[in-house]
Structure 1
């Protein structure tokens, strides 16, 4: 069997290096095409991408692979990841593909698959594609080779849909909004939606050149938007990431609110309106303990999953819940979208501002966070720093020291060669001490 390709969010790596090569993209497209094309009927796939230079190479290679197995390809161009999920279902496609490495640097890229229902593929489906890839797909007969064409209306359809998620007959008139699109996939769609709803939009991060996606901008670098908010005296800032499935909010004072605060606001609002299914929010183990305490005080349950929005969505679908997400800013509202959608989450936040006539700063501090700190430690390929006795002992000692007043979470990133070490405690000094000891041992083992 070949090396396992799929991680926690599709296939990802450095562009033009295994597995993100044109050759592998072609093979992967052919394997996915054969997996979804199980008879001789007409089959179609939609392919979107962000603004990375390598997106062209991967897009054309995937297209060759899909058409070689008889799939007809609709090329969407640069669109947000949630738009691919929406259009996969809306165009009755058999499979959707997003070419993006999300918040990663421009030199990386990735391939995410969506099933015909618009949701990301299950582990079982990914294993099925991997099995066909290992065996080698059967190619279509010459007369059955698929066609490919540009779908020019992709952005327009998503823009119109996104606007329908904002409260009927409400507008954003009078709001001045700094919008940071991270030089990524939403650089046209997001400004259009906010402007058409009546806002004065001050856009930044809307000049992609293939190399500047997420570069000192977007949800991973909100300081650019914060400075612009203060400079322009804006009412708030909205920061998306490279594929627009994440969001962070900057209030009028330049203070940043992460996904936990946004989820806390939406969950509290929906629960009060009777819209929160099961009175439950689904979040990951990374979400702050302060969020959990706030929700519990409101009679709202918090269910935790492994890190990754796909695990959040799986739990939401299994339990019939309609709100979930991650501290990093993935907000999943399956009443509206099949995956994290930064723009639609922003519209929910703006709806709160408009309906309650409140400033952003009055809505972004929903709860007092328990002190929490995350440190990433990079390791070399082939190493397993978490398996060493010294690291395991440091973790055990840290958990004992924190007791019931804190948490310690150590995990490998599913998308980068990083060990993520997170500590949380009511006592900041204790948190720092535990974190320092664990990080020191992880670095020694790396």
Structure 2
């Protein structure tokens, strides 16, 4: 039996250590003052920062990793939303999150994928911990103490609502046990329903007459249809089904995770835009294999993530004849691929800059997915890489850098000759040369 806490301890955990009423707590927004306090919005002329624990419908629950934190656990929704924007702004400047879209940052923020990058911006008022949104918490309905009857009914409804929100999971084969665990964990942490706290909409009147047996068969047929769409993907079934992940065993052990290798998302059952775009483009060309733009190795294309043992990217320049021309948002782009060996720079496959002899390193890129910009242009290593394609004068100051990796793939005007072009995207043969493997030392005969 768990030990009972003293009243003072319970108040401290709720952030109400100085309050007389144990049924209220204060908004624990960490940056600045509570918005309701600034606007003096307070019912019954009370402290505007107070939150009634009997009615948490308009609040968001957060957790602090400091077990002795006394700053509180709840924020007004508008306070949380404003604070969340500051955390998203910080995430925008962090590592791999710089290449994410706004939607991806918002979806990943409170999952391990994004929070590990942004936690430094989530400092708690207690000064010894970091806050995180509680994705598993749902605002309960307001309670009533009239003989406890309304509270019991609401509790029953809450349990039923939670049961309705349980979604079936699709298991992968036994050989994918590790990947299944990772994906199911990410699914629980990052599902849309958990992050928004919303429940499923009530059934319409026409659906109430359907028997449970028919309803179950109807749901099963939808799942099977979704599975058929995912396997085919509108690609006539020409792509390979990946049986295991043994091809990635050549990577260092610290990269064998779902952040370095793109795996199936927990949502949409694989029907996301990137996957459909790649598979439909290749299917229209009748290609079940692609060719690495650097070493010309043939790579199989798979029907699920990771789609290839390397990574795709879009470039405004056709680096090789194997690159496929596509139209993206009205612009002509070329779908290009680099294999895993060339990204890692294994012996004999590394490339170096012709001008500064710096080795190109693609080991930080996520495998099995696609980047929407030219990955070779995204990180210019020397002044030659930022010169105009027409007058050969620097388009940028050598110390200047653009805000986003994708900016280097856009058309920009030269400040000297006014030529509008993708000046930072150079031909690979112009920029790079093969890194010659050192010869082994030979003993004197």
TM-score, with structure 2 as normaliser: 0.26
Q: Larger relative CO (CA 8 A, sep 6+): 1 or 2?
A: 1
Higher-helix-fraction structure:
1
